């Protein structure tokens, strides 16, 4: 049995492809929304909710897993490390499906950093509105260092994301609840609409819309802080 960690579009495609080939496969997602997206294309068993090391090992044993294909987000370092360790302990195969990367020229107002904390520190040195395209998971890191009134955040249109934004003091008029990725033209419109002075993005490759985020910022003369993928 193959377990696909399928919290991304390529993960869902991988699970579906293996299923169509007649393989014995199950898939895992963290959120109920991810499960809903996966179920549209995949008929097999879906494991929902977060996985710690103990749960990984239980699933491997109970389901007879002999391979894990990790198709999680490029920045999902924690789940990646857990999957590697679980495979090592269980003596099974670990494979990583890594999406294509994106390497912009760093001399066009693009500044590369290596963590959310570093991005928040750098963003705090700019004046005006800071446009976050990094989702809600690391939002606390930015709120700790920056006045929430200056943050414009784009998150998934999910209740938990909106509740978190409001709980952390983000103004309702600065919350953009939309499912990406977004085209270049829309990125430009949003940056101008919310009077952004600096953009913060994760390096998530073309599949995550990173090139359009960065190009829109460059063309508008806005500095862009890009968080590199974990090693």
Give the CATH number of the domain where residue 74 resides: 3.40.50.720
Structure pTM?
A: 0.83
Regarding whether 116 and 37 lie in a shared domain, the answer is: no
- Give me the tens of pLDDT residue by residue for the chain, a chain 231 residues long: 999 999 888 899 999 999 999 999 999 998 888 888 889 989 999 998 889 999 999 999 999 999 999 999 888 889 999 999 999 999 999 999 988 877 777 766 899 999 999 999 999 999 999 999 998 989 999 999 999 999 999 999 989 999 999 999 999 999 999 988 999 999 999 999 999 999 999 999 898 899 999 999 999 999 999 999 887
Regarding whether 126 and 91 lie in a shared domain, the answer is: no
Q: Is residue 8 part of a domain?
A: yes
Q: Is residue 104 part of a domain?
A: no
Regarding whether 72 and 137 lie in a shared domain, the answer is: no
Q: What residues form DSSP beta bridges with 48?
A: 29
Regarding whether 116 and 46 lie in a shared domain, the answer is: no
Sort residue 91 into left (φ over 0), alpha (ψ -120 to 50) or beta: left
Regarding whether 122 and 47 lie in a shared domain, the answer is: no
Regarding whether 211 and 127 lie in a shared domain, the answer is: yes
Cis peptide before 109 (omega within 30 of 0): no
- Structural domain harbouring 84: 2-96
Tokens representing 182?
């977004």
Regarding whether 130 and 71 lie in a shared domain, the answer is: no
| Last residue of one domain, picked from the residues 40, 67, 96 | 96
Q: Is residue 105 part of a domain?
A: no
| Last residue of one domain, picked from the residues 72, 96, 120 | 96
If residue 160 lies in a helix (H) or strand (E), which one and from where to where?
helix 159-167
Distance from chain centroid for Cα 100: 14
If residue 46 lies in a helix (H) or strand (E), which one and from where to where?
strand 46-48
Regarding whether 86 and 174 lie in a shared domain, the answer is: no
* Number of folded domains that form the chain: 2
- Determine the pLDDT at residue 75: 86
Q: Please say whether the dihedral angle defined by the alpha carbons of residues 224, 100, 26 and 55, taken in this order, is positive or negative.
A: negative
Regarding whether 150 and 209 lie in a shared domain, the answer is: yes
Q: Is residue 103 part of a domain?
A: no
Distance from chain centroid for Cα 121: 20
Regarding whether 131 and 26 lie in a shared domain, the answer is: no
| Last residue of one domain, picked from the residues 71, 96, 121 | 96
- Determine the pLDDT at residue 107: 67
Q: Is residue 140 part of a domain?
A: yes
Regarding whether 118 and 42 lie in a shared domain, the answer is: no
Q: Which long-range contacts (CB under 8 A, 24 or more apart) does 23-30 make?
A: 25/1, 26/1, 26/2, 26/63, 26/65, 27/3, 28/3, 28/4, 30/79
Regarding whether 62 and 136 lie in a shared domain, the answer is: no
Tokens representing 173?
């008029």
- CATH number, domain at 124? 3.40.50.620
């Amino acid at each position: 049995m193959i377990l696909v960690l399928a919290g991304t579009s390529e993960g869902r495609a991988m699970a579906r492809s293996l299923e169509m080939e007649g393989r014995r496969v199950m898939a895992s997602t963290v959120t109920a929304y991810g499960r809903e997206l996966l179920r549209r294309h995949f008929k097999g068993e879906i494991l929902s909710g977060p996985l710690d090391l103990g749960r990984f090992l239980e699933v491997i044993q109970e389901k007879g897993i002999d391979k894990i294909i990790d198709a999680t987000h490029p920045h999902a370092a924690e789940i990646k490390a857990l999957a590697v360790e679980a495979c090592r302990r269980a003596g099974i195969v670990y494979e990583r499906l890594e999406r294509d990367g994106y390497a912009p020229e760093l001399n066009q107002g693009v500044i590369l950093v290596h963590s959310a904390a570093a991005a928040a520190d750098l963003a705090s040195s700019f004046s005006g509105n800071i446009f976050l395209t990094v989702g809600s998971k690391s939002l606390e890191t930015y709120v700790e260092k920056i006045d929430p009134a200056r943050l414009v955040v784009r998150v998934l249109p999910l209740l938990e994301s909106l509740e978190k934004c409001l709980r952390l003091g983000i103004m309702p008029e600065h919350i953009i609840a939309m499912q990406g990725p977004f085209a270049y033209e829309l990125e430009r419109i949003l940056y101008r609409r919310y009077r952004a002075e600096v953009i913060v993005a994760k390096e998530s490759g073309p599949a995550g819309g990173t090139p359009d985020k960065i190009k829109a910022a460059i063309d508008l003369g806005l500095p862009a802080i890009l968080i590199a993928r974990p090693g």
